[in-house]
Every structure is written in structure tokens, then in C-alpha cells.
Structure 1
Amino acid sequence: MKSTPNPAKQAYYHLMSHLPGRRGLRYLRKHSLSRRDDVNALFDAALVEASGKTCIDLGANMGVFATRMAKHAGRVYAFEPDPWTAQKLRENTAGFDNIEVIEAAAGVETGKMPIYRSAKFDTDPRKGSLSSTLLADKSNVTPETAAMVDVIDFAEFLSGLHSDIAIVKIDIEGGEVALLEHLLDHPVISRIGYIFVETHETKLPRDLVARSRALRRRARQLTHPRIDMDWM
């Protein structure tokens, strides 16, 4: 059953999210959770507008959202850098001829980097894959399970596409901070309709938390593209 948003509670959570330290981050998460129905409704509306256009899923994991996009979009690029997860993604999207799986991370420059996994990855790779990240100091991963992966300059990748981009969904476990900073300063940003970002402030080092909060303030001032940083 769909919950009814409570504007007063949302406003309270938003106000309290500005508190310093972990307390403010807990309220920031509460605020994001309270907006879940709003964000889902916006995503559904964006899918309708995406008919026949290009969509991109960064951190596609098993392909849940890539396949949803593919039912509307002309083309979907699903990025998944972890080799184990990328193989599962290919299997799960094999029935869609408009999904292209890209086994690489989206970053700010092309190269190779280690991807860090949950300590439980070897025993439960399906669940463990949800935490995989390029950030060594993210709190829920360990260097013992790292693997080298390809990284693609995402802004340049977008520049090389021959169509505008209806939706970019970003869920890359902390990598969203540098990527979004880079995108917002690149001319290709004008070709994107909607950006949905899952932020990971409760698991990020302090300097990235400050940068993520700055991105939230910046995103709220934009009318194009429409950026929602409460995706989860």
C-alpha cells in the first residue's frame, strides 16, 4: 500500500538534517526515506518521457532498473564494473535487445581502479555485490576482496552518444560525489533530462559528506536537468 507523504514531517527531517555530525546524517536519511513515494512517482513520470530515448543505469547490479528503463527507452546502457555482478546482469537482461551491458565503472577519467567488496562477498556475492565501491575507505567494504576493473570517463562517454539522455540513475556507492561534481561542470549536462542519485553519506568519510551536501544545495538550484538526490 502506498504511503501518504507527510509534508510537516518531511520539513522537520529536512531542518534537522542540517545538524552537525552523525545526528544530522541520520535525519538526512529519514528525510530521504520520507520522500520515497515522491521520488518513485517522479521516476515513473521520467520513464514515460523517456519513450524511444536513451537511458543510463550506473551501478546496474542485477538489472532491476535497467529492465524497467528498457520497457520505455530506445537504448539503455547498464554500467556494472564488478565482474561477477556484470555476468549476472548479462544473464538477467539477455531478453532485452535494447540493453547494452558495459562492464566498467563510470568515473571522471579513463583507466583502471580496484573495486572493493563487502567482507561477506565470497559467502554471499549476490548480497555482497550491493556494497561494491571504488572507495577504499567506505565503511562497509574491505581491501581483502578487491578486484581490478575498468573505469570510463563518463562525461566523455555521454559526449559520444548521438542522442540526448532522458534518465541517468546513479547508485555507485560513494563514487557519485566526484562523478556528479564533474558532470555539473561539463557541457554535456545540458543533454540530460533527469538524474536520480542515491547518496551514501552515512558510510562516507567526512570530506565526501561535506561535498555531497554541497551537491544537494547545488542540485536544488537547478531546473535542468532535474536532479533528485533522495533516490534509494
Structure 2
Amino acid sequence: MPSMLAQTRLLAAELLRGVQARGVTRLQRALAPQPIISDIRGRQYAYPQDLGISTTWLGSPSSLIGWTVHFRGAYELGTLGVLAALLEPGDSVVEGGANEGYHTVFMAALVGRSGRVWAFEPNPLPRQTLEKNTTGTPQVTIRHEALAAEPAESRDFYVPRGDVPNQGLGGFAHNFTQPTEKVTVRIETVDRVIGDARVSLIKLDVQGFEHEVMAGAKDVVARDLPYVLFESIPGEQSGREVAAMLRGFGYSLWRVDERMHHPYFSLEPAGKLEAASNYLAMPPPRARKR
């Protein structure tokens, strides 16, 4: 049972839910950080109604994603808007870094049972939430491997310790900003797993190793010219390498800026990928195949 002070702080943070003003999120994090609300049980959260998806996601405010959804209504709202604009029933998606499945569930609803989502998540802890959320969703295939440029039976992989709220920080390199544990994971490539299946979109959030994943997806990209939605952080070479590869295939690159009203995003020229953001790579219109 949380203390009276903790309950009071949590109530104050709850009263700010839905308030859109500068500094509100920072204030909520100060009032109700994850350790204070770690005893709150998981609950079902709806996606924004005007995106046309009636499904829900099961999460807990004790994680970064769950906290953001609980207090701010959605996680990476601009990304949801982009996915809703691009995906149709019957489409197929490869997701590298599925985490707790917040975007996985949303994409599965968009593509429907005639579509397919391959969700890769090598970190066992967030994968538990991913698996709970996709039970009874036959269009989702969960893969335990990490994606990279070449397949391997074993490779060192660093995952955040269990008490770290952001479990999405796992990667092939040690993240010194968070307590981590070393595990070994099997490595696969997009090209080997997907084979002859058509891919409509590749979504990546793999902590600076997006270039490795895309190096193992060249056959799929050349054949299907899928949309590619990926994260890039200033100072990291990975995003620029992905951009160079995709521009070689004739793609245009756009920065995804979040907006508070439908459709919840705008696209700005990516330039040199100088902002920490998600970026959308769009293939040449004349080459795009549905």
C-alpha cells in the first residue's frame, strides 16, 4: 500500500491527465515517477478514438510506455498517426524492437487478420507484456531473436535491469546510462525470416542499430520497396547510414513531428537527421506497389 504522501502525489498527477500545456509532463513525472506507482496493476488502455481502432492495449504505469499512455493518453502519438495513414487491411509489417507491444497491437488491428505483423523482441521482460497483448491475434508472429546484418547462433545483448522503467533500451552495446545485464540472444536477418512474403512497412526502434537491421533487409527493400519508419538520435551514425541506403533506392526521407490534433503528425524534410525523432522513408511513388 503506498504511503499517504505517495497517494497524494499520484492523485495530483491524475488530475493533470488530459491537460495540454508546456511543462505538464515534467510535472507529472516529478509527482508520480514509476517507483511510486509500481504497485498499480495493469489495465486496458484505448487508442485515440479518431484513429479508427477500437482495440485496447494492456499495460502498467510502472513502465515508461505504460506511464506515458496512462498520463498522456498515448505513446508516440505521431507514430500512431503515421501508421494509421499508411497501413491497410492485408498489409504486412516487420517490427524490430516491439518492446511491450503498444505499436504491435495497433498495427495488428490496422492490417487485420488478412495481414501479418512479425514482432521481434529479444528482451524477455517486455516480451511478456507483448505476448499477453497478442494472445488470440493470429496475424502477429512474435520472434525472440534480435535482428542484425548477419545471422548468428549467439551474440551478447545488453538489457536493462528489471527495475528500470524503460525496457526498450536493450542493444548490442552497453548502455551506461542505465543498469544493464548481459544476456545472449540468437540473431536473424529480415531477409532470411521473411523469405518470399511481401512486406508493406518496416518499423525499427533498436537503439542505434537500425543500420545493422537494414543491412540484413536489402533483398526485401529492393523487391517490395516498403515504407520504413525508424528512430534516429543525433550523434549516432546509424540513422545516417539507413538514410544513405534508402536514398540509394530512390526513397525520400521525412521527419515525423507530433501534433496534438488529428492526424497527429506532420512530415518535414529530414535533411541530415539532426533531430532526435522518428523518420519516415517513402519509396518513389511510381515504384510503390500495393
Tell me which interval the TM-score lies in, with the shorter structure as reference length: 0.5 to 0.7
The alpha carbon displacement at 1:173 in A equals 0.9
Structure 1 alignment gaps of length 5 or more? 4-35, 203-208
Find the residue that maps to 2:232 and give its secondary structure: coil
The alpha carbon displacement at 1:210 in A equals 3.7
- Runs (4+) of structure 1 exceeding 6 A deviation are none
Counterpart selection for 2:212 from 178, 194, 207 = 178
**d(CA) in 2 for partners of 1:114, 1:228:** 33
Structure 2 alignment gaps of length 5 or more? 1-17, 21-75, 256-276, 280-290
CA deviation string 1:112-168 (max 9, x = no partner): 2122123xx2324xx2412111123x44345x511111111222223x1x4311111
Counterpart selection for 1:132 from 161, 166, 170 = 170
Matched, 1:98 2:145: no
* Change in 2 beyond 3 A, CA 1:128/1:214: closer
Asked if the contact 2:202–2:227 (Cα under 8 Å) also holds between the matched residues in 1, the reply is yes
Asked if the contact 1:81–1:105 (Cα under 8 Å) also holds between the matched residues in 2, the reply is yes
Matched, 1:165 2:199: yes
* Change in 2 beyond 3 A, CA 1:104/1:210: closer
**d(CA) in 2 for partners of 1:37, 1:85:** 20
Matched, 1:187 2:219: yes
**d(CA) in 2 for partners of 1:220, 1:41:** 24
Asked if the contact 2:208–2:239 (Cα under 8 Å) also holds between the matched residues in 1, the reply is no
Q: What value does the CA root-mean-square deviation take over the aligned residues? A: 2.9
Partner of 1:28: none
Partner of 1:68: 106
| Percent of aligned pairs sharing the same letter | 20
**d(CA) in 2 for partners of 1:107, 1:218:** 15
* Change in 2 beyond 3 A, CA 1:100/1:86: same
Asked if the contact 1:107–1:151 (Cα under 8 Å) also holds between the matched residues in 2, the reply is yes
TM-score w.r.t. structure 1 length?
0.66
Partner of 1:45: 85
Relative contact order higher in (CA < 8 Å, ≥ 6 apart): 1
Find the residue that maps to 2:208 and give its secondary structure: coil
Asked if the contact 2:171–2:207 (Cα under 8 Å) also holds between the matched residues in 1, the reply is yes
Partner of 2:125: 84
**d(CA) in 2 for partners of 1:211, 1:170:** 12
Q: Which amino acid aligns with 1:98?
A: Q
Q: Which amino acid aligns with 1:187?
A: D
Matched, 1:197 2:249: no
* Change in 2 beyond 3 A, CA 1:116/1:155: same
Find the residue that maps to 2:129 and give its secondary structure: helix
TM-score w.r.t. structure 2 length?
0.54
Partner of 2:158: 116
**d(CA) in 1 for partners of 2:147, 2:178:** 19
The alpha carbon displacement at 1:198 in A equals 0.8
Partner of 2:242: 215
CA deviation string 1:65-101 (max 9, x = no partner): 1111111221111100012222221112113121111
Find the residue that maps to 2:128 and give its secondary structure: helix
Once the two structures are overlaid, the 10-residue window that deviates more, 55-64 or 146-155, is 146-155
* Change in 2 beyond 3 A, CA 1:46/1:116: same
